Amino acid sequence: MTTIIVTGGAGFIGSAVIRHLIRHSDHTVINLDKLTYAGNLESLREVDHDPRYNFEQEDICNPLALQRVFREHQPDIVMHLAAESHVDRSIDGPTAFIQTNIIGTYSLLEAARHYWRDLPGDEQVSFRFHHISTDEVYGDLGDSASLFTESTPYAPSSPYSASKASADHLVRAWHRTYGLPVVVTNCSNNYGPYQFPEKLIPLMILSALEGKPLPVYGRGDQIRDWLFVDDHARALSLVAEEGVVGETYNIGGHNEVQNIEVVRGICDLLEDLAPEMPEGVEHYRDLITFVQDRPGHDRRYAIDASKIEADLGWVPEESFETGLRKTVQWYLENRAWCERVQRGSYRRERLGAGA
């Protein structure tokens, strides 16, 4: 039986990974999460009482806490997802991104290195440190027709992407210098159930249902490659178990869509799935409002996922159309979860419980 530490397991992608591992494997999973504003244990209710699931509320920047977690749980794999990830927040306040994404990754690498170094021979050979990153480290494809490959030079544009690029470099350096067995993945934009409402798709869904303006940066012509979160979770599990040490795998959804088309698609689905409009709204599309573009906004991201498809046999199961419909339907059926997140009551209650 394999023991896997998932850092940031109470976040959007991390919780999807944990749900996938508990549903589809016999692994033991340790959720290591500080529980910042975006960490929500309600996203893990379905696995909360499973004997193979354990939660550790710790900060990856705390070396002593990391040493204890490694010593007590004896992991075979570390899947590192803990990160500050919202670009707008990184522009307004980059300090937390430097601390978590760079210092936190360094602290985790050191804890993993010292733990791995003392493992018996067979366990040392089989140990893996899987670092989960983003396509934003590659910068802006602009108006070109090219795709991000695993060898695309790094050219981050925001404090967020620069901090993730720094973390990627640290991970590869720990492999080259110390021999730590690492794999790295870089993924495109994720969407799906349980995503924090500050991100584009849930923000648009929930704002439309309340009859609020749907703010779109610039002309909304920025292009992103959209990946359904459950497809990403499958890919991450596969790479963690079967990926080749030292290799990088790009993970994309084969779904390049302009931001404005994403918002229009949400509006059209809501017309079908939630036809009772808020008061004063005749069509959801009427709520779309163009606002001043954010600084350094990249024009286009697009992933070439041919390597993971050829080497590991992974392909996404959801098209953008099927995934977006599932996502809108989920938010309509889980308004109570959304309201608790928007009010922040999920944080107050866990603090009141001594978490």
| Active-site annotation, residues | 135-136, 160
11's CB contacts (< 8 A; 6+ apart) are 33, 38, 39, 40, 81, 82, 85, 196
Calpha distance 135→51 (Å, rounded): 35
Query: What number of other Cβ atoms are within 10 A of residue 282's Cβ?
Result: 7
Contact 241/205 with Cβ under 8 angstroms?
no
158 by Cβ neighbours in 10 Å (0-12 / 13-18 / 19+) ranks as buried
Q: In the 8-state DSSP scheme, what is residue 148? A: B
Calpha distance 15→276 (Å, rounded): 32
174's CB contacts (< 8 A; 6+ apart) are 109, 113, 129, 180, 182
Q: How far is CA 158 from CA 136, 163, 181, 209, 322, in A?
A: 9, 8, 29, 31, 31
Contact 34/57 with Cβ under 8 angstroms?
yes
Contact 193/13 with Cβ under 8 angstroms?
no
